[in-house]
Amino acid sequence: MRYSLWNDRIVLDEEVIIDRQDRGYQFGDGIYEVIKVYDGEVFTLSEHLDRFYRSAEKIKLVIPYSKDKLIRLLRDLVQKNNLATGHIYLQITRGISPRQHHFPENSKPVLVANVQVNPRPLANFENGVKATMVEDIRWLRCDIKTLNLLGPVLAKQEAYENGCYEAILHRDGVVTEGASSNVHGILDGVLYTHPVNNLILNGITRNVMLACANEIGLTVKEHAFTLEQLKDMTEVIVTSTTSEITPVIEIDGHIVGTGKPGEWTRKLQKQFNATIAAVVRV
Ligand code: PDD
């Protein structure tokens, strides 16, 4: 039996009813989070929920539950589903109302969360992946984790059709992030990453990875870089909740560094694993 969280109740999956007039369905008017679970323990839950509340505030949506209550409910959801390793998908929309663009007066937000079994992609961590460059056609509020994902969906499809794992997005040749990850390059002992602003999502994994860089003595520069500069980096990585620290070994046929995950990447992955192990028993 599988269970979902529906507003503030844990119910059987089949009991969840999504109304066709839900503004999430009609406008993508809502926000979401993807949160990793390792061996039954939810990783960086507090950080994800902080971003969830921040995203909500930015779209003027009031989440009708406290953070403590959501923490309790999401942990219960993981337990009830006996989830070992996988992730929680959590979303909230502005609610149900006859279709009109401006906010309805009396709609109640609709929250849904479910879990998915999802083993860590260890082969990607080990061997690295290919990426392709795609123009970033998204709006100018990429800091909000909105349900509107058409830009990333189109970019990811292009990557998929090119046999690539990720699309590296750029605005006028300046790399912003991946379709569903943050992108970083390493050159001469310095890790370069796009600064946190409205053009990227402030990734939770990015922040954990930056702490790891600090711990292993890798200098971090939060500077944007161009596609040409990215190609000259000796190591390129993408980070996200599900991709963790994934090395990129080829970009549109161009071989990154030696064509194998580099030494700094290996050290970062090791430190990242130690960080996970410190909070969960993996
Ligand atoms: N994606 N940038 C974008 C555009 C993303 O969609 C994501 C996450 C990230 C990385 O954020 P984090 O480290 O907090 O997961 C960066 C999630 C995993 C998804 O949509 O599936």
Question: 10-36: per-residue pLDDT in tens?
Answer: 999 999 999 999 999 999 999 999 999
**Does residue 282 carry a pLDDT above 80?**
no
Rounded-to-integer distance, Cα 233 and Cα 103, Å: 46
Catalytic residue among 58, 60, 69, 145: 145
Place 209 in a pLDDT band, splitting at 50, 70 and 90: very high
Best of 181, 193, 204, 268 for a ligand 1 pocket test (most atoms within 8 Å of beta carbon):
181
Q: How do residues 136-174 score in pLDDT, each as one tens digit? A: 999 999 999 999 999 999 999 999 999 999 999 999 999
Which band of pLDDT confidence, cut at 50, 70 and 90, is reported for residue 263?
A: very high
- CA 79/CA 119 separation, integer angstroms: 17
Q: Domain ranges in the chain? A: 3-117, 122-277
Task: Give the pLDDT band (50/70/90) at residue 83.
Answer: very high
Atom in ligand 1 nearest the alpha carbon of residue 152: 4
- CA-based Rg of the chain, rounded to a whole angstrom? 19
- The whole-model pTM stands at 0.98
d(CA 216, CA 235): 16
**Annotation says 80 is catalytic:** no
| CATH T-level topology, domain 122-277 | D-amino Acid Aminotransferase; Chain A, domain 2 (3.20.10)
CATH topology of domain 3-117: D-amino Acid Aminotransferase; Chain A, domain 1 (3.30.470)
Average pLDDT, rounded, for the chain: 98
Per-residue pLDDT at 69 exceeds 80: yes
**Is 205 touching ligand 1 by the criterion CB < 6 Å?**
yes
SS3 category, 31: strand
pLDDT at 248: 99
Q: Is the CB of 201 under 6 A from ligand 1?
A: yes
pLDDT of 280 reads 81
Mean pLDDT of 63-91: 98
When pLDDT is averaged across residues 59-82 and rounded to a whole number, the result is: 98
